Amino acid sequence: MENKRYRTGYACGTFEQLSRENIRLLKACRAHCEKLVVGLVSDDLFLRMENRRAEVAFKERREVLEALRYVDEVVEIGWDNICKQDSARQIGYDVCFAGVEYGRLYEQDRICLKENGADMILMAPESMGSDPDPLEDALENVHFDRQIILFGTGRYFDAYMERYGEKYPPEYAVDNSQEKWGTRRRGVSIKAPDVLKEADLKKKFIVLCCKDYFPVAEQLRRMGDVDYRPMCYEPEFARTDEYAVILKEEREYLGKSHEILLKLLKEFDRVCRKYELKYYLICGSLIGAVRHHAFIPWDDDVDVAMTREDFDALKTHVDQEWKEGDFKFLDYDQMGNGVFLDFMTRLVYMREEVPNNIFKKASSKMTNGVPDHVSMDIYVLDKASDNETKHKIITTLIRGVYGLGMGHRAFIDYGTYKNESMATRFIINVTSRAGKLLPLSWICRMYEKLRRWNSKEECACYYESNGWTKCFHMKFPKELFGEGTYLEVCGTPIMAPAKYEDFLETHGYHNFMSFPPANIRKPTHSVKSPDIM
């Protein structure tokens, strides 16, 4: 029997279709070890990764893999064991096979596995480009304020520009050839690699545009903690490698966000108790309290609501409580530099930065140091007219004023509205362009007049006058809120509507005790998300 270098090897993929290339790949892996364990992505994780259900269910994919003579064992891979370090503890392998050098996490995994007696073997070929595309997954996961830099300006540079250049344009390129410094290629300036030594590497994402990229990767690692990807990869393995990066970063982001969101809730509760003000946990935050007695595991924001009377009373104490220190009260017209985001009022935790896209559409113009800080949304419950026609007119006008305000954002990506109706796209286009011609102060005055239109009337219902524009029309009977009740969030009692189950049903959260499909279970502020009307 042939002597193998390794006892147990490990490879992971979706293996939705077992192609000849995949069979050859598994055969090549098995050549290194006496036993090959294949990690097979579960149906739930597949749905999350691909945003669709697998054409071949997990059970059938497993049976096909187990029938191969190169595969000795198949294990199910989900959220908890997709990362190499987690799977190593579960399986106990001494070699694993990767499809790409997946940047920072690749280095961390390689070092950690080495310390525990396991090696990493890269199975990347000398070609690039596939469908689905692991490199595009990595590019899509790049935080919006990080710059994409290309290293190398030959044919791989050209391939990048043709395949990704329009959607993910590079800030500039670097090259080790001195004669290229100071020139341009395909409209991109080329600089010396030393420019990276002076840069904040945490805000750079570098794509290695060269075939023999190993010396370049080592060159980058000597510069510091840099995140990079080569354009050469083995797609079946690289797909799960990249998703392991996404889920690890997401797990860390959610852990830190939940820690801060709880601080925000505790602080807000403290101040409201102090001044005898009522507030109510709502929306996904309320579902988290009811279903998990904590935050929803994948949720990254927290929402509370207050009646107009209590909200106005709260504002009289803002300077006394939050003028300086860890917390900042931020009303919708306090973004700074004449910029508009939405009509939401927020309490922001200022002590610690956590990269997110909450303020993405305004951050480049904001001057108050708020971007990349976690915040709590404060919804205002204004009176909703009992006259349905009047209520519809008022909320429609508020939506129009919101559209005018959008003209004062730092940028608008009209492409994010491609799934909206033609009428909605037309209204967004017209109102936002018209709004640029109007002073933001005038737009805000109009909004305040509209949202308070029924303040002197006796009304049976409230509406969320500063929430998601598609929900403006919703009316909530006052008795749903009442004196409120307390529910536990991570062991802390937080006020909720008195009839919180009825509130959730009225808001459209039917069957809220059940988990949504796996592709919905992801944070909305850590990756790119569309504009909200």
Q: Is 364 exposed, middle or buried (0-12, 13-18, 19+ CB in 10 A)?
A: middle
Euclidean distance between CA atoms 335 and 438, whole angstroms: 17
Over 70: is that where the pLDDT of 1 sits?
Answer: no
For 42, phi then psi, to 5°, come to -65, 165
Identical fold for domains 6-122 and 134-232, yes or no, is: yes
What residue segments make up the domains of the chain, in order of their start?
A: 6-122, 134-232, 246-520
* Region 255-280 average pLDDT: 98
The pLDDT score that the predictor gives to residue 427 is 86
Residue 365 is predicted with a pLDDT of 87
pLDDT of 2 reads 63
pLDDT of residue 379: 98
Render 44-99 in DSSP notation, one character per residue. HHHHHHHSS--SS-HHHHHHHHHTSTT--EEEEE-TTT-SHHHHHHHH--SEEEES
CB distance 181 to 162 below 8 Å: no
Segment 184-207 mean pLDDT: 93
Output the average pLDDT for the chain: 93
Cβ of 532: how many Cβ atoms within 10 Å? 14
Average pLDDT over residues 123-130: 74
Range with lowest mean pLDDT among 223-227, 264-268, 332-336, 529-533: 529-533
Name the pLDDT band for 533 (thresholds 50, 70, 90).
Answer: very low
pLDDT band at 532 (very low <50, low <70, confident <90, very high): very low
Per DSSP (E only), the strands in 232-317 are 280-281, 303-307
> For the residues 114-129, what does the mean pLDDT come to?
86
Which DSSP helix (H) or strand (E) runs through 461? strand 461-464
At residue 130, the pLDDT reads 72
pLDDT digits (tens, 9 = 90+) for 318-352: 999 998 899 999 999 999 889 999 999 999 999 99
- Whether pLDDT at 141 is above 60: yes
How far is the CA of 340 from the CAs of 137, 195, 364, in angstroms? Answer: 31, 35, 11
Give the phi and the psi of residue 407 in degrees, each rounded to 5: -65, -15
> Under CATH, which number does the domain 6-122 receive?
3.40.50.620
- What DSSP state is assigned to residue 473? T
pLDDT band at 464 (very low <50, low <70, confident <90, very high): very high
At 199, is the pLDDT very low, low, confident or very high (cuts 50, 70, 90)?
confident
Q: Which CATH superfamily is domain 134-232 in?
A: NAD(P)-binding Rossmann-like Domain (3.40.50.720)
Q: Is the peptide bond before 170 cis (omega within 30 degrees of 0)?
A: no
222-238: pLDDT as tens digits: 998 889 999 999 999 99
In this prediction, residues 105-129 reach a mean pLDDT of 89
Question: What residues form DSSP beta bridges with 228?
Answer: 206
| pLDDT of the residue at 530 | 40
Q: What pLDDT shows up at residue 531?
A: 40
Contact assessment for residue 525 and residue 410, using Cβ atoms and an 8 Å cutoff: no
What confidence tens digit (pLDDT) does each residue in 433-445 have? Answer: 999 999 999 999 9
Report the pLDDT value the prediction gives residue 127, as an integer from 0 to 100. Answer: 67
Q: How far apart are CA 400 and CA 396, in angstroms?
A: 6
Contact 398, 450 (CB under 8 A): yes
Q: Is 42's pLDDT higher than 90?
A: yes
Over residues 479-524, the pLDDT tens digits come to 999 999 999 999 999 999 999 999 999 999 999 999 999 999 999 8
